Structure 1
């Protein structure tokens, strides 16, 4: 099974939103941004995109240098938050992953996030030993999740897998790589219709165990 991270395993807003507001406070203090912080809904609705595309949506009038400064600030605030105990997994994630691992299912993460963010979330939430590989767009410089998942499949010589995620990018990555797609329909920030093409949709992470039994 290949899992997306944000909105699938990790309840992203519990870490992201404090870091988001701190980032814009700092940008204003550095005279790099003027005005109110863009609505939380804007960045939450952008999750699943590459970071450069997120900033293009959140602050389209700012130049690329400001976007890159925002990259650094947001990551720093998030990593500091993780170290301070912020951020939570969705209910049942740790227990379900443990059960799948014990059943011999090979587990991977494929995320469009930055390398250090993905690895630190997994490490701080004590689920790292359950995964055989953590793949991120930040580490492998892929331009889409389709490419990232393809690279993972080829590297580990995987011919059959489930892609588990909450956004249209996860559905696309699974379908274009010939995988079974499980849509996670419990995150609050996806848009309507994003999971329409998933083979199965689940309302709770633990339902994966029921699907395996079938």
Structure 2
């Protein structure tokens, strides 16, 4: 656990990214990704080899439209939108078919935080049915007061999504917990503490620059919370 010198204050709420923070995304995404390109080839919308899966994983945390611009930049907008549809369809069926995983201790840690009275939320750049589907499949949905997704709220950035969440639920102090630079930005630009998750390894070394604390396992959140000062 790496911390800055700033003493943390106990938050009223914690806001979690989904992919690479709560959910071990590659357990679902990799098989769905390969199937998606098989389908695009069948539909004559894509030719050639499937782009490297590492490229897709490096885009986690981005909005879908930005992901396809990076993964299949030479394809038309129509192909990108069809890829959106297929990915959602394949991921939702994959949640039932594949053996997908949360990161270790996620459910137990969320339950402990909830028992301590922390209000729990999700803020993800993913699609609504995907984000809610992951939470429901892994039996953590009831622990969250709200699950916000860019797909549902049509926000242009995670900064806007988190601002909407804070406003809608009257939250004044929160820890933003995530693994990408978009999570750091969303926390900081909304005046909140940022806990960077350094265990997923999808981003580069600079992704979490600016975080108040870096954690290497999810269950460190309980210790951090217990050691934090009571808010005045």
When normalised by structure 1's length, the TM-score is: 0.99
Instruction: Indicate the larger mover: 119-128 or 78-87.
Output: 78-87
Shift of 1:85: 4.5
Q: Which of 64, 69, 73 matches 1:56?
A: 69
Matched ranges for 1:28-177 at <5 A: 28-177=41-190
Moved over 6 A (4+): none
Q: Which of 5, 8, 24 matches 2:21?
A: 8
When normalised by structure 2's length, the TM-score is: 0.91
Q: Give the structure 2 partner of residue 25 of structure 1.
A: 38
Shift of 1:127: 0.3
Relative contact order higher in (CA < 8 Å, ≥ 6 apart): 2
For structure 2, list consecutive stretches of 5 or more residues without a partner in the other structure. Answer: 1-13, 228-232
Shift of 1:60: 0.0
- Give the count of matched residue pairs: 214
User: RMSD over aligned Cα, in angstroms?
Assistant: 0.6
Shift of 1:50: 0.3
For structure 1, list consecutive stretches of 5 or more residues without a partner in the other structure. Answer: none
Q: Which of 183, 194, 197 matches 1:184?
A: 197
